[in-house]
Structure 1
Amino acid sequence: MATVLKWVKFPTTAIDRQQGREKFATAPQPFEGAIGAIDCTFVHILAPSEHEEAFVNHHGRHSLNVQAIVDPDLTILNINPRHPGARNDAYIWSTSPIRRAMEFHYNRGERRTWPIGDAGYPLEPWLLTPLANFPEDTRQHQYTQQLCKARSVVERFFGVFKSVWRCLSYQRVLMYEPAFAAKIVNACAVLHNMRVQLRLNNEDDEQLAPIAHPVENDVDPMDQDEEYNRRGPRALAQRIQQQIMRERFPNFRDAEE
């Protein structure tokens, strides 16, 4: 476990989180305020002898559902292979120490800092997700397009991860019980980050986009705290989404107008 923590570390300090935001602000597919892209993937295993049904995913195969958070360099910030395949992405996030950490920092006054996920995750003030089925000339569509492009790094990561460590690929099955299979996933995560840090990967270097200048938050944090207490996290998260869309896409119409 100590080796995993050495090589796979989520930003725990304000300086680390600022550096994480800067990576996404200057990435080829930027999204200001993002600190990591989050998603889950299945890693197939043998049918376990205990609680076998809990490991059957929606494709009907026995698996772990592995959650990963990565940055634009494909560095793994967090890996969680402990959950069986029947658990959905939202449940895994709801029990994640990273969610608790993001909520903690939000409640301590840290704003404009989010993991970004797909529609399988809940919209929260500390986790942004896309909006579905809006016309192309709307702010909602532009916001979703920008978020999904930035979030695509986690899908690219899974492709690289499973192509390098073939034991994790869709065509393979880890021939071990779940706890040992999870250790294999963790070991592959450590080796992956070693490859990234030591530049042992074969990926072509990508051009970084120009640094985007962040827009100052015009909503008083005290107002956000009051709304959070009164209406709950989803309502506040929707307000944050609307503010982002107004600031970043002023030349597009709002779908509700």
Structure 2
Amino acid sequence: MHRLQLLFRLDKITFKKLCRSLRVHTTLRGTKEIPMEIKVLCTLSFLATGSYQRIVGVSQHLTQRTASRCIRQVVEALNNSYMLRHIAFLQTPHERSSIRQEFQRRFNLSGVIGCIDCTHIAIIKPDNDDHLFFNRKGYHSLNVQMICDHNLKILNVNPKYGGATHDSFIWASSQVEPYMRERHRHGEQTWLLGDSGYPQRPWLMTPILNAAPGSREEIFTTGHIQARNCIERCFGLLKSCWRCLLKHRSLHYHPHVASKIVIACCVLHNIALQAPIPLPVDVVAEPHDDGNDGAPAVLSVASSEELMQGRAILNSLLNRL
């Protein structure tokens, strides 16, 4: 395996393409002292390890303060609107149809266009409103919602909420929820798969708890669990490649900056998948730190009709098994 890929998670060709895109489509620039390529390598090194120590090996004259400034500049560039096109929810019927077919083929579940869950990204205690970030597991974090497809490509990421926020609240506040709702109103039979921490909806299917052995409900739930494992694997791959996101690293940044680092890692994750780049040999996934461990969803009073509609669609799915 090439040393560049081992240390920075990208191969030479993909690295050059990334630098070219950043130069053409963002305001990121190098200087005589620090070329842009060094800034990008410096950032990739930090994101891949969560440590400043190895950055010295990228450029001997970089101090930690200078390296930190370079990282902020590159992370900001990776959050540029052009770069964010690498993370795009399914906008066309063709895109949704393609993913539906793959979930149907692999897991015998119809209508599925993605899997959703939240995961905690550890941060240091914020100076303000730290209670919003203190999660039920006993540390400060961002509770990051992601949606992925069958190939572990990230379709949507929302890192704006603290670790104390429930998964279902983040979902209800996201841009994807009204989009899926609108697709349902137009008669489109598509949905996401979520765990029991989410409310059952016509556009969001959750597992059936305590299903009787051998029943259609158990068959559905088994397929649901197997398919939804895509998001668990996505979290594992993301965090093990971009180890600044691992729990024991803890991002030493303001929550707003930490959220941009999360997005930058997601952009790079999708770029690497698209290349495609083989997994580094040292990738070892961290056990998934689930957002709310399947805690009961926080429901609104006005949601009972949607719940009944969701159950009706679920029953129709069961009848097809």
- Counterpart of 2:316 (choices 243, 248, 251) is 243
- Indicate the SS of the match to 2:205: coil
Q: Residue 108 of structure 1 corresponds to which residue in structure 2?
A: 186
Aligned to 2:126: 48
Greater fraction of residues in helix: 2
Q: Which residue of 2 aligns with 1:21?
A: 100
1:63 matched to which residue of 2? 141
Partner SS state of residue 116, structure 2: strand
Q: 1:159 aligns with which of 236, 246, 258?
A: 236
The 5 Å alignment of 1:1-257 reads 1-27=80-106, 29-111=107-189, 113-202=190-279, 232-248=305-321
In the superposition, the TM-score normalised over structure 2's length comes to 0.67
What per-residue deviation string (whole Å, max 9, x for no partner) do you get for residues 188-228 of structure 1? 0000000100011329xxxxxxxxxxxxxxxxxxxxxxxxx
* Cα distance in 1 for residues equivalent to 2:253 and 2:109: 39
Give the distance between the partners of 2:201 and 2:308, measured in 1 at CA. Answer: 8
Give the drift of 1:3. 3.5
User: Which amino acid counterpart does residue 148 of structure 2 have in structure 1?
Assistant: V
Amino acid at match of 1:95: S
Q: Which has the higher contact order (CA 8 A, sep 6+)?
A: 1
Superposed displacement of residue 31, structure 1? 2.3
SS at match of 1:18: helix
Q: Amino acid of the residue matched to residue 309 of structure 2?
A: L
For residues 109 and 135 of structure 1, the distance between their equivalents in structure 2, rounded to whole angstroms, comes to 32
- Structure 1-normalised TM-score? 0.83
Secondary structure in 2 matching 1:136: coil
Q: CA deviation at 1:26?
A: 2.5
The Cα RMSD (Å) is 1.8
- For the 8 Å contact 2:99–2:150, the answer to whether it is kept is no
1: distance between equivalents of 2:82 and 2:163? 26
- Matched residue of 2:161: which SS? strand
> Alpha carbons of 1:119 and 1:11: their partners in 2 closer, same or farther (altered >3 Å)?
same
Partner AA of 2:115 in structure 1:
A
Distance 1:247 1:32 in 2: 9
2:231 maps to a residue whose letter is: V
Indicate how the Cα distance of structure 1 residues 75 and 187 shifts in structure 2: closer, same or farther if over 3 A, else same.
Answer: same
In structure 1, list runs of 5 or more residues that go unmatched.
204-228, 249-257
- Pick the structure with greater CA Rg: 2
CA shift in 2, pair 1:65/1:21, >3 Å: same
Secondary structure at 2:144 match in 1: strand
